[in-house]
């Protein structure tokens, strides 16, 4: 990160009460751009982020984790994109590396309106260490919410969306994201799920104010990437109203029901429903299967129909 170039760059490092050689390593750097904050005890990521946000002097802040690597020119490219788009938050694309399995892949943002639909149920905004944002815009939201020790970025981006802040995406791959066995998303996954659920229910409440809490919980279960234990009646209620909720989303996004954007949503709905069939109780499979089939037809997707046929074979 210290190899980044740009006018008046400063690097704020928050040492969250480390007990290893971190303080000595940081002290060995004599770069005047480096600002080191040390917590006397471990406060957690959220509180440490807020502490850094208080002291930064620059109008723009780029997030970075200790175990990731920024490509040369990352700061300059993201700053340029932020200014070009007149945005408040910008993400870059990333090279992902799972150090446990040895696999690697490229992360890039989903296209709109699919990204907006997926953000209702999970964090598809972007990867936290790949973000750059206007400091004052994030401060105007109150910074990170410290009641969330994990998944605090999803909460922040959702509040930013609700406040009308603008997001942009830099198409260059500017971050090497290393996912190891100590990564928060692995070691604290249950806490992240709980935060994600709370944020999803809040986001749904804004868009579907007439939906009951049970329906929103059921919709979260159906559209989330993993099956979760929820009351059977919540899922039944969500299945009844799912089609109407999708149409409400279309109206909010100004989508033509027959356009390519709407078809991408129907394809996503069909995909998630077909994946849920085997996990649903027998009393709900018929309704879910019919909805998945109707969604596949609305998506005009042979792939969705084939996927659904394969799932049906597996569940029979």
Say if residue 62's pLDDT is above 60. yes
pTM attached to this predicted model:
0.92
How much is the mean pLDDT over the chain?
A: 91
Q: How confident is the model at residue 44 (pLDDT cuts 50, 70, 90)?
A: very high
Q: What percent of the chain has pLDDT over 90?
A: 74
The fold of 59-187 is Spore Coat Polysaccharide Biosynthesis Protein SpsA; Chain A (3.90.550)
Q: What percent of the chain has pLDDT over 70?
A: 91
Say if residue 187's pLDDT is above 70. no
pLDDT digits (tens, 9 = 90+) for 87-139: 999 999 999 999 888 999 999 999 999 999 999 999 999 999 999 999 999 99
Say if residue 3's pLDDT is above 70. no
pLDDT digits (tens, 9 = 90+) for 64-75: 988 889 999 999
* Three-class DSSP labels, the chain: CCCCCCCCCCEEEEECCCCCCHHHHHHCCCCCCEEEEECCCCCCHHHHHHHHHHHCCCCEEECCCCCCEECCCHHHHHHHHHHHHCCCEEEEEEEEEECCCCCEEEECCCCCCHHHHHCCCCCCCCCHHHEEEEHHHHHHCCCCCCCCCCCHHHHHHHHHHHCCCCEEEEEEEEEEEEECCCCHHHHCHHHHHHHHHHHHHHHHHHHCCCCCHHHHHHHHHHHCCCCCCCCHHHHHHHHHHHHHHHHHHHHHHCCCCCCHHHHHHHHHHHHHHHHHHHHCCHHHHHHHHHHHHHHHHHHCCHHHHHHHHHHHHHHC
pLDDT digits (tens, 9 = 90+) for 199-211: 999 999 999 999 9
Assigned token pair, 124: 């598809």
Q: Domains of the chain: which residue ranges?
A: 59-187, 212-315
Pairing of strands 34-38, 167-179: unpaired
Q: How confident is the model at residue 316 (pLDDT cuts 50, 70, 90)?
A: very low
């Amino acid at each position: 990160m210290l190899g980044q170039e740009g006018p008046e760059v400063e690097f704020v490092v928050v040492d969250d009460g480390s007990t290893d050689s971190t303080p000595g390593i940081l002290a060995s750097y004599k770069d005047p751009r480096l600002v080191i904050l040390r917590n006397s005890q471990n406060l957690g990521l959220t509180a440490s982020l807020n502490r850094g946000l208080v002291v930064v002097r620059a109008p723009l802040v780029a997030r970075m984790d200790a175990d990731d690597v920024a490509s040369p020119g990352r700061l300059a490219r993201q700053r340029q994109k932020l200014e070009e788009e007149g945005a408040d938050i910008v993400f870059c694309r990333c090279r992902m590396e799972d150090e446990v399995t040895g696999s690697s892949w490229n992360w890039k943002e989903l296209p709109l309106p699919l990204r907006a639909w997926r953000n209702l149920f999970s964090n598809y905004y972007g990867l936290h260490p790949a973000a750059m944002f206007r400091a004052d815009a994030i401060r105007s939201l109150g910074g990170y919410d410290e009641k969330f020790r994990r998944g605090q970025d999803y909460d922040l981006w959702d509040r930013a969306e609700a406040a009308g802040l603008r997001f942009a995406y830099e198409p260059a791959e500017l971050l090497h994201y290393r996912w190891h066995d100590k990564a928060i998303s692995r070691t604290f996954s249950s806490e992240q799920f709980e935060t994600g659920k709370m944020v999803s229910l809040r986001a749904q409440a804004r868009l579907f104010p007439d939906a009951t809490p049970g329906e929103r919980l059921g919709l979260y279960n159906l559209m989330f990437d993993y099956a979760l234990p929820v009351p059977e009646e919540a899922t039944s209620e969500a299945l009844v109203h799912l089609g109407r909720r999708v149409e409400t989303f279309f109206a909010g996004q100004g989508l033509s029901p027959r356009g390519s954007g709407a078809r991408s949503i129907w394809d996503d709905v069909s995909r998630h429903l077909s994946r849920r069939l085997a996990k649903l109780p027998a009393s709900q499979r018929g309704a879910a299967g019919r909805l998945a089939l109707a969604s596949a037809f609305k998506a005009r997707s042979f792939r969705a129909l084939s996927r659904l046929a394969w799932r049906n074979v597996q569940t029979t």
